[in-house]
Amino acid sequence: MADKQYGGWYDNPTTGKNQRWWGEGIWTNGEDPGQGQGQGGQGSVGNLAAGLSNLGGGSMNLMGFDLPTLQTNFQDTYGKLQGAESELQGYQTRRYEEEYSKSGLDKVKGEIDALDTSIATEKNLRDESVSKVRKNPGYSAATITGETGEIQRLANAKINNLIDERNTKAGTYNAKLGEITNKVGMETKDKESSVNSMRYNLQFLGGLLQTYQQARTQELSAATETSRWEKEFELKLYEAQTGRINASKGGSGANQQQVKDAWGNIVGYFDPATGKTTYYQSEEGAGTGAAAQTIPSEGLRMKIRDAWKQGYTADQLKGAYGTAVTDKGENVSSIIDDEWNTKTQGGIGGFLKRLFTPGV
């Protein structure tokens, strides 16, 4: 693939589609894998680096990297890439100006301009002298021919010498300018190759981190919740989704279903006929309305994320929990909305957020 230009459009032999080639077998439909998209841009890569601090612990080892080493390598590569991209901005122009100034070509250019002025001046003097001779009424035709011929011979000799000197300097100037252009062009190409290599390395390390995150998510989803709480949560989702269908089989009252909290206490009932959940009043809240259901905060977000995988929507979950709050005083509906935003957020920002959120 040495004949391909980095980021150019080519036919991908694997997919049979015309895609952009980024080296090392990396093809995209147009986006640059080393840069963010939309409003994310370079800041999105910064969010990715910042998100490493949210990774959980553990002794995972991926392709010879333990997590601390992987994080360090990612941060180091990211820092180097930022520096290299910053240096590459305007690098070709800066180096061209440095080499041009150091070579003394500005002085040669000034000499060429001065010679161009002298040549133009000598040509004007020649033409004026010839014109004066031809307009002299006292000269015969033979005298005019002789005088103008001598003026032109002398003037043209001087002009031709100036032109030869000018062309010699211009040849030296152009040759040196070509050397500078080639030198700066090669340096810039080397730096671009270095930046592209660091972008690929950053993408590779990001892939390892994503693999770690997926494995870590599987561990957490299997070990952090009790089976009773899982079944309780799934039962409430099922009741919310199928209550109205079951209501068609009978009237309200007889088909009312008990609503229990996470500890098995009956806190209210669900009426399939109306689709409403009613909570019993507590003694403290009897004068102000029904007491809000309290849900354990530990593991709640993981259960919500598991519900997304089962096909539930945010409205279904909020319908199941109503005005419930966690044991830390947080509104469950707000937590559901926050998790739904994480799941559905678009662009590179949404991708990176989901990358470092277990279970999404």
Residue 112, number of CB atoms within 10 A of its CB? 18
Q: Is residue 99 part of a domain?
A: yes
Mean pLDDT of 164-178: 93
Mean pLDDT of 166-175: 93
Q: Are residues 247 and 280 in the same domain?
A: yes
Radius of gyration of the chain (CA): 40
Select from 197, 223, 249 the last residue of a domain.
223
pTM more than 0.75:
no
Q: Are residues 248 and 288 in the same domain?
A: yes
Q: What is the DSSP letter of 136?
A: -
Residue-wise pLDDT tens digits, 230-260: 566 666 665 655 554 454 444 444 456 776 6
Range of the domain at 192: 91-223
Mean pLDDT of 119-140: 92
Residue-wise pLDDT tens digits, 8-61: 777 888 787 777 776 656 677 766 655 543 333 443 444 444 444 444 444 445
Q: Is residue 44 part of a domain?
A: no
Residue 117, number of CB atoms within 10 A of its CB? 11
Closest CA to 264 of 297, 236, 298, 222: 236
Please state whether 122 falls in left (phi above 0), alpha (psi between -120 and 50) or beta. alpha
Q: Are residues 342 and 257 in the same domain?
A: yes
Closest CA to 271 of 318, 319, 304: 319
pLDDT of residue 174: 93
Please state whether 64 falls in left (phi above 0), alpha (psi between -120 and 50) or beta. left
- Report how far residue 130's alpha carbon sits from residue 181's, in angstroms, rounded to the nearest whole number: 45
- Report how far residue 348's alpha carbon sits from residue 26's, in angstroms, rounded to the nearest whole number: 18
Q: What is the DSSP letter of 280?
A: P
pLDDT of residue 287: 40
Rounded to the nearest integer, the mean pLDDT of the chain is 75
Q: Which residue has the higher pLDDT, 80 or 36?
A: 80
How do 9-11 and 18-21 pair as beta strands?
Answer: antiparallel
Q: Is residue 108 part of a domain?
A: yes
Closest CA to 298 of 321, 325, 338, 327: 327
